[in-house]
Amino acid sequence: MADGTVRALMIGDVIGQPGLKALFAGLGPLVRSSGADIVVANGENAMGGFGIGKEECDKLFSLGVHVITTGNHVWERPGSAELLAATPRLLRPANYPPGAPGLGWVLYEAGGVAWAVLNLQGREGMAPIDCPFRVADAALESIATEAPGAIVLVDFHAESVEEKEALAYYLDGRAAVVAGTHTHVQTADERILPKGSGYITDLGMSGPEDSVIGVKAEICVRRGLTQMPIKMESAEGEASIRGALFAIDLGTRHCLSVERVRA
């Protein structure tokens, strides 16, 4: 913390072992150079490119990630319900219907301040789960009751740019940050919205460079040519970290700057 400013580093979808290795090599130096007070990473693809297990959770936490967000792939692996129930800092989207295991948001203290990390999932082009707009309202109300003044960070795991931007404007001024995940492609539209929320449509992925969204290129080419449901496999080779750094004013809880990250 410096001059009343705190910083949140949000990391895009971590893809398999290449993504974990990239974080092993680069996250510590990145945190030190950026002065990040809290690190949030989307880990739904950390286990071989699809899903997440206890080993991957433990690895991400040991590398310095404070909260792990996810999305539609969190349910891919056996034992996901038990893992979510046992790991409060591993989130699943809050707008899954009542009865789904795990938590959709969590409070965490870092840098001497209280943070609230909220995970939501879109519905356009994805599963028709509960409304992310209305669930966000309910979550923010609960957060305000439990931790008044907490800095709210939102990971919106969604396919549609329109839906991502619409939710960001809906939460503008109420969340310090709304950052999109899911497409694995880092966008160049980072900005501060009129009421003070920091926004980017997609943080990108932390995974193999020589790939198609983290998957072996030849598999994706064959899928495109044949339209057959060929099993996707995580690519290998050199990997990088992608995400964004958000500077937030402690007085207003508004975002002061957004900087894309590639390391």
- CA pair distance 24, 246, nearest whole angstrom: 22
Task: Considering the candidates 73, 157, 182, 184, report the single residue annotated as catalytic.
Answer: 73
CB half-sphere exposure, 173, CA atoms < 13 A: 4
Here the tokens at position 80 are 């996901």
Beta bridge partners of 108: 115
Hey, how many other C-beta atoms are within 10 angstroms of the C-beta on 251?
8
Give the DSSP per-residue string, 19-67: HHHHHHHHHHHHHHHHT-SEEEEE-TTTTTTS---HHHHHHHHHTT-SE
Buried-state track 108-137, b at ≥16 Cβ within 10 A, e below 16? bebbebbbbbbbbbbbeebeebbebeebbe
- How, if at all, do strands 177-181 and 151-157 pair? parallel
Instruction: Tell me if residue 73 is catalytic.
Output: yes
Positions annotated as catalytic residues are 73
